[in-house]
Structure 1
């Protein structure tokens, strides 16, 4: 069985690798990911992997989380996975998703862009790591 990674206050290499692997697995499930990124919530001192898809609207968040669970369940025994507690799913109308699309466009692949201490249209983003911003 796969093991959950420890999501810490610092973005670790294992978090980055596990996030990329999850996006890859969800792509294989045709999860229609338009935006995927780690976002640091400074008030809680925690990172969350945010996944945005139009399917969150059409299927509903609960059904979309089932896709995430399925992707995690397909992990090999020695592979690290991200706990559902550290993942947020949203539609593409989400404010942060829309802000990131103004600044960063990645295409359909999986990128690795660190975006720290920047302001977009008056909204401060403490820290993020972007895999995809293709809304």
Structure 2
């Protein structure tokens, strides 16, 4: 289990950001908090088709632009946001698990599990599309 705890405030703040991104027409396909054992931090992983069309720098720029506009200010560290392709191995594995097991992982806490070939020590899943 992760040594650094993900608290409900971070989960709520992540949801506020995801809602703001969707409202700004920056479609977020998948989103989850994932624990990184090194350096013992949580990362907010977001996927968007923009990543594959425009690349990581443009995607981060768009995310940060929306992040700065959210009021009241978000109480999460923007440096903990990770934008990845919808084709990222972990996201593909989670998507496949949902299909294989006919599950909806939205709102699920995943602890000490293998997904495809990726070990997840701890994660909170908002949505996987």
Q: TM-score, normalised by structure 2?
A: 0.84
Unaligned runs of 5+ in 1: 1-7
Counterpart mapping for 1:1-135 below 5 A? 9-77=4-72, 79-104=73-98, 106=104, 111-134=106-129
Q: Deviations over 1:47-77 (max 9, x none)?
A: 1000011211112211111221122222224
Report the Cα distance in structure 1 between the residues aligned to 2:116 and 2:92, rounded to whole angstroms: 11
Report the Cα distance in structure 2 between the residues aligned to 1:34 and 1:80, rounded to whole angstroms: 21
- 2:12 is paired with a residue whose SS is helix
RMSD of equivalent CA atoms: 2.0
User: Are the counterparts in 2 of residues 47 and 86 from structure 1 also a CA contact under 8 Å?
Assistant: yes
Unaligned runs of 5+ in 2: none
* Runs of 4+ in structure 1 over 4 Å off: none
